Amino acid sequence: MAVFWNLTDKDKSKMLRQIEKLYIKYCPDFKPGAANRTIKIFRDDPSFKRVVLKQYPRTTSFTRSHYFKLIQTFSWVSSLKTEHKEILLKKIKIELSKYKEPLRIPGKTLLCMSKNK
């Protein structure tokens, strides 16, 4: 089994930390650390052997407009009721306006692999 995640690295970006605070406040479905919890499940499950974890760092550049559109596709944003989504997106737009373009989003692709015993 192989599972991939594309994750942002909020530890390297003030902007991402600020946006995450907004997700935590306004998005009940936002679950930070989901990849780590899934990896722990694999490592703790005796039916899998030799769990291998690989990380591939990357930085992606976006215009504000493109990143704003991307944010709206995240399940924890798109599942919000319209009035809550509008409030969140307004606050995110304000936060994004504080940074010059291109927005550089640090992240990594995380790969977790294992075989069944």
pLDDT, tens digit (0-9, with 9 covering 90-100), for 52-92:
999 999 999 999 999 999 999 999 999 999 999 999 999 99
R_g of the chain, CA atoms, integer Å: 16
- CA 94 from centre of chain: 20
3-state secondary structure of 111: strand
pLDDT at 39: 84
Interior angle at CA 110, CA 36 and CA 50, nearest 5: 75
Render pLDDT for 10-22 as a digit per residue (tens, 0 to 9): 999 999 999 999 9
Q: What is the pLDDT of residue 71?
A: 97
Residue among 23, 5, 13, 29 at smallest CA distance from 62: 13
Binned at pLDDT 50, 70 and 90, residue 45 comes out as: confident
Provide the whole-model pTM: 0.84
Q: Are 34 and 91 in contact (CB under 8 A)?
A: no
